[in-house]
Amino acid sequence: MAGGARSIDRVNDGLRVAVVGSGPAGFYAAGALLAGGAEVDMLERLPTPWGLVRLGVAPDHPKIKSVSRAFEKIAAQEGFRFLGNVEVGRDIEHDELLELYDAVVYAVGAQTDRRMGIPGEDLPGSSPATEFVAWYNGHPDFQHLQFDLSGKRAVVIGNGNVAVDVARMLALTKEELDPTDTTEPAIEAIANSGIEEIVMVGRRGPAQAAFTTPELIELGELAGADVVVDAADLEGAEPKDTNSERNLEVLREYAQRVPTGKPRRIVLRFFRSPTAILGDDRVTGIELVRNVLDEDERAVPTGETETLDCSVVFRSVGYRGVALPGVPFDESRGTIPNEGGRVGDGVYVAGWIKRGPTGVIGTNKKDATETVELLLADLNDAPRRGRTFDDVEALLREKNVKHVLYEGWTAIDERERTAGEPLGRPRVKLCTWEELLEAAGVAAERNPT
Ligand code: NAP
């Protein structure tokens, strides 16, 4: 191993590490730390674990969500503790973590959306995809949102897998939504929406699209929506890699399809960038400019514009990390500056806050393992702080923080699954802080953010 990093299967006695964030990167880091003999306290601002696996992965993708079983096995290991409802920077400070633990691993993901910087971006009816995704997945901070889906056309900006998720979710029928854990208000809103056409807009060509082929194939298999592709957009497209080659094959087949008259259509458009979102009080349309690609495959606007009427726009142009008080932050990249996961002074990072918002869930395993190997090598011979979990609990008590232990989460989990059973759903999610904390056996005394 490079740089004398020790193997993570050796015992690292007495090492206590705080992992902040309970998504895939946090759990893979915890797994590697436990394997290395460390104790792990996982701090999470929500009362529930799994991060984007619970609140980001589309509810009609239960297979992807089932990765949580691997996380459950990590959580069951000796030396692991879950501390939900504890927000770093609000309930406990970064400096306090450094006092209480030998090291801190931030695996907090990328909690906000990238901006496009065009007029009308904040008009009512224009939303970041991140908010829509959090809403239909039952994130307790996003349930107050309302999405007016009464209009005929929705536009989704972006050509990544999140854009595909949003376009597909908007097109699902009640029969497709019913067996999922989509929230009831979202099922109602989507199933009864007036939307007839969902236009997904990519600024570059079909060969440059970021979405992956299995996700693209799903768009062609929907019960209630036809998929439409203009063959002209595919002319001269040169595949860049295997994914792009497979995508092009699927897109060519779509371009030959004749719409079968399903109630909705998903239209994939390429070489178009939004230049303005139009409307006075709320979205009524979007202006798009036609792009060509330069020699580096960057989108260059031609000046030729068109206007599309639409009532909602979902901006799905990538996530962005958020700075933590007291922790260094690279504003341009939206990440915590690090080398291989090491930030310095006992601070480490894993996942999207380390490398940016790219890759699939499994990518985080290698990413987190790299970080933990460095951490264990760094701290192998370092003196331990000698603090215990009692010290952590004492501080939380002093600050009146009502933390949710793993048993609190399993109580939530059981309540949700039980509610889902008679409906043939995997679960009916508890979607408010009050319900979640009550089910976890914690009094909801504090006003959530
Ligand atoms: P992404 O894959 O990085 O896609 C972002 C898209 O936004 C790209 O098409 C990008 O185009 C476009 N874009 C960026 N800035 C733009 C602008 N100013 N105007 C117009 N378009 C713009 O990100 P994501 O979709 O948010 O997904 C994040 C990660 O999660 C990805 O790695 C994704 O694969 C993963 N994910 C996976 C699944 C799954 O496996 N089912 C589901 C959801 C998410 P350019 O290419 O031109 O920059």
Can you give the pLDDT at residue 443?
A: 72
Query: Per-residue pLDDT for 125 more than 80?
Result: yes
> By three-state DSSP, how is residue 76 classified?
coil
Q: What confidence category does residue 444 fall into, taking pLDDT thresholds of 50, 70 and 90?
A: low
277 lines ligand 1 (CB under 6 A): no
- How far, in Å, CA of 192 to CA of 185, rounded? 11
Tokens of 60: 């009609």
Can you give the pLDDT at residue 212?
A: 97
- Ligand 1 pocket: which of 168, 203, 300 to mutate (most atoms within 8 A of CB): 203
Strand segments (E) across 264-363 = 264-269, 272-278, 285-293, 299-309, 312-315, 319-320, 342-344, 347-349
Across 69-89, average pLDDT: 97
Write the pLDDT tens digit of every residue in 323-341. Answer: 999 999 999 999 999 999 9
127 lines ligand 1 (CB under 6 A): no
Can you give the pLDDT at residue 136?
A: 98
Q: Is the dihedral of CA 73, 76, 79, 81 positive or negative?
A: positive
Can you give the pLDDT at residue 11?
A: 53
Can you give the pLDDT at residue 381?
A: 86
What Å distances lie between residue 81 and 44, 397, 400, CA to CA? Answer: 11, 17, 19
Write the pLDDT tens digit of every residue in 134-184. Answer: 999 999 999 999 999 999 999 999 999 999 999 999 999 999 999 999 999
Q: What confidence category does residue 368 fall into, taking pLDDT thresholds of 50, 70 and 90?
A: very high
Angle subtended at Cα 100 by Cα 98 and Cα 104, rounded to the nearest 5 degrees: 45
Bridge partners, residue 197, by sequence: 153, 265
Bridge partners, residue 103, by sequence: 17
Write the pLDDT tens digit of every residue in 274-283. Answer: 999 999 999 9
204 lines ligand 1 (CB under 6 A): yes
- DSSP code for 357: S
130 lines ligand 1 (CB under 6 A): no
Write the pLDDT tens digit of every residue in 198-231. Answer: 999 999 999 999 999 999 999 999 999 999 999 9
What Å distances lie between residue 400 and 387, 394, 395, 443, 449, CA to CA? Answer: 20, 10, 9, 11, 16
346 lines ligand 1 (CB under 6 A): no
Q: State if pTM tops 0.85.
A: yes
- Provide CB contacts within 8 A for 337, sequence distance 6+: 328, 329, 330, 343
Query: Per-residue pLDDT for 7 more than 80?
Result: no
Q: Which of 210, 205, 201, 235 is nearest to 297 (CA)?
A: 205
